[in-house]
Amino acid sequence: MGWWQISTDTLAGSRFVVSPLAETVASLRTLERAVAAHPRERAWLERWLPAYRSRQSEEPLSARIVRAALTPRWSADFLTPAPVPPPAGQEPDTFAQELARVRATPPERARADLAVALRRPLPAALDRDDLAGRSADVLEWVWTRAVEPEWPARRRVLEADVVARAAQLSRGGWAQALDGMRPGMRWLGESRLQINTYDNPPRELDGAQMVFTPVTADVGWVCWDISHRYGVVYPCAGALADTGRAPVPQALGALIGPARAGVLVLLASPLSTTQLTALTGQGLGSVGRHLRVLLDAGLVRRRRDGRSVLYFRTAAGDGLVRAAG
């Protein structure tokens, strides 16, 4: 199995980072494998897969590079750089800034990374200097057409997952927060984090920074800028990924108001006020007022979970949502 040796200082300085580039790479992986993990992703895939396949058929060399870079077991490192946490008080990197790092990959490194992903020497057709540039063009196409238009909604879902992970971390520490974050990943004890089940040599992360990045697709990977930054990209909680764009029945919106109905629909899974704020885009005060009305009406209940208060629908709330379609 592959595992990382992580010092206390490295773990204490770890950060959660939302990355538009990681979300775009995850979306590219979804397009490549053409399999959806939940209804929202299925609708997105049905909309964009034909256009993506058309684009790749017109650019067969780019299509071959992407397939080589995103193998089932390994991703070419130049395509998946570790996200850079922003300094305190500053905004995180934009997609353009992150993509510039991919484009700036030296040709010799891109060729070496691709050979590692393929686990064999590069075929002559891929022994080129424009591997990074062509890969970046594909990522830019996916971002511009299929991700950027819905990025605000996706970002709210990802931010809600970060909030949930932070709450889990405060309750149970890093061992609880890391176990099950992605398939094959678990805390082994003695400062060891298993990152996958592959037979890879361990890595020593002493003095490096760790970043954890959620994506809405059901994919994940590890990445690094050896030896100063290591990252884990993981699929965000399934309930959040599936309900981030949950439709509000028109009849329900007419009955109790569309904003309040949106809160009730999301509470099919227990959520905190902070998560609801991130998912709905409403202010904390507005969400609180909606929750009070729903509590008084017996449509939701609440329970304490560590330092958080989670809200969830009652049977009456479930019945109202179902009856409204």
Residue 8 has pLDDT above 50, yes or no: yes
114: phi > 0 → left, psi -120 to 50 → alpha, else beta; which? alpha
Model pLDDT for residues 82-110, shown as the tens digit of each residue = 999 988 888 889 999 999 999 999 999 99
Contact 68, 76 (CB under 8 A): yes
Here the tokens at position 134 are: 């062509």
| From 138-142, 175-179, 259-263, 310-314, the region with the lowest mean pLDDT | 175-179
* pLDDT > 90 in the chain, percent: 54
CATH class of 245-324: mainly alpha
Q: Count of CB atoms within 10 A of residue 43's CB? A: 12
Provide mean pLDDT across the span 121-134.
96
3-class secondary-structure state, position 254: helix
Model pLDDT for residues 11-26, shown as the tens digit of each residue = 888 999 999 999 999 9
Contact 19, 139 (CB under 8 A): no
Residue 149 has pLDDT above 50, yes or no: yes
Nearest Cα residue to 14 out of 266, 187, 200: 187
User: Residue 225 — φ and ψ, nearest 5°?
Assistant: -120, 85
In this predicted structure, what is the pLDDT of residue 244?
Answer: 44
Task: Encode 211-239: b = buried (16+ Cβ within 10 Å), e = exposed.
Answer: bbbbbbbbbbbbbbeeeebbbbbbbbbeb
Alpha-carbon distance of 120 to 113, in angstroms, equals 11
Q: What is the mean pLDDT of the chain?
A: 89
In this predicted structure, what is the pLDDT of residue 241?
Answer: 53
Provide mean pLDDT across the span 297-324.
86
Confidence label for 243 from pLDDT (cuts 50, 70 and 90):
very low
Confidence label for 305 from pLDDT (cuts 50, 70 and 90):
low
258 HSE (CA, 13 A, CB side): 6
Strand partners, 303: 310
**What are the boundaries of each domain within the chain?**
2-238, 245-324
Alpha-carbon distance of 198 to 3, in angstroms, equals 9
Model pLDDT for residues 178-218, shown as the tens digit of each residue = 877 888 888 888 889 998 888 788 888 888 899 999 999 98
73: phi > 0 → left, psi -120 to 50 → alpha, else beta; which? alpha
Alpha-carbon distance of 291 to 307, in angstroms, equals 18
Alpha-carbon distance of 22 to 215, in angstroms, equals 7
Strand partners, 223: 231
Provide the CA 89 distance to its chain's centre, in angstroms: 23
Here the tokens at position 27 are: 């979306």
Contact 20, 98 (CB under 8 A): yes
Model pLDDT for residues 25-34, shown as the tens digit of each residue = 999 999 999 9
Provide mean pLDDT across the span 285-306.
90
Model pLDDT for residues 137-147, shown as the tens digit of each residue = 999 999 999 99
Beta-strand relationship, 186-189 and 192-196: antiparallel
Confidence label for 307 from pLDDT (cuts 50, 70 and 90):
low
